[in-house]
Amino acid sequence: MPINNHRRLAVLLACFHILIVASSNYLVQFPITVFGLKATWGAFTFPFIFLATDLTVRIMGAREGRRIIFYAMLPALVVSYVITVCFRNGDWLGFGTLLTFNLFVARIAIASFSAYVIGQLNDIFVFNKLRQHRQWWHAPLASAIFGNFMDTFTFFTIAFYKTSDAYLADNLFEIAAVDYAFKILINSIIFLPLYKVILDRIMKLLKKNSRWSSAQKGNGMFVKAEVLSGQD
């Protein structure tokens, strides 16, 4: 893959991670009722985290993929903190609120980072080995079931156990259970069917760019040879 295309893809994947983490950490403060069960709007965006992680590692390779995710995490947490503090419950409070430490939001950021660390350990020791299987769906399926459970348990326990938000504290386990169930549902209905399509499209694009780059280098060598031949 050409260096410029490689860097561009790495930046796009990192921005994708930042967008998902920041939006999820912000939306988790908004309550919602799903079929009579208590949840938050973050349940709709959290499932994208594992999709982004698996695609990044599969496309860029295990070492490079984890490096991209690691570099994206700090900006994602900073953006999460700034947005959530300045837009508390959807109301703009101004940048002045950043001068006061907000423990509620900080716990969300710490929980998000902790869930990330747990997720990376799972990815290194479990999911990355499954990606070597000939069946492409083994890794995303294990990530959807086991990875989402560990991520959900870690995040909600650290972020909202005995938190200052009464709704989140009183309904912690119900919200976490609904969030996990929703992740499984979204992965089963949307992500797994679309995963192979997205992966194939990206890999074909990368191969096409790689062949084009090789052809350009070959043409350059041919033209250079013609010029040298003419000089003789």
Contact 45, 24 (CB under 8 A): yes
Q: Are 32 and 88 in contact (CB under 8 A)?
A: no
Give tens-digit pLDDT for 139-155. Answer: 666 766 787 788 888 99
**CA–CA distances in Å: residue 55 to residues 75, 127, 195:** 20, 12, 8
For residue 1, pLDDT over 60 is answered with no
Tokens representing 216 are 């350009």
CA distances for 169 relative to 24, 99, 175, 217, angstroms = 18, 26, 10, 61
For 2, phi and psi rounded to 5 degrees?
Answer: -55, 150
On the question of pLDDT at 12 being above 70, the answer is: yes
Which one has a higher pLDDT value, 40 or 125? 40
CA distance 155 to 94: 27
Average pLDDT, the chain: 77
Confirm whether pTM is higher than 0.75.
no
Domain around 23: 3-231
| Six-digit token string for 208 | 């096409």
Number of domains in the chain: 1
Choice between 199 and 177, residue whose per-residue pLDDT is larger: 177
Query: How many angstroms separate the CA atoms of 72 and 8, rounded?
Result: 14
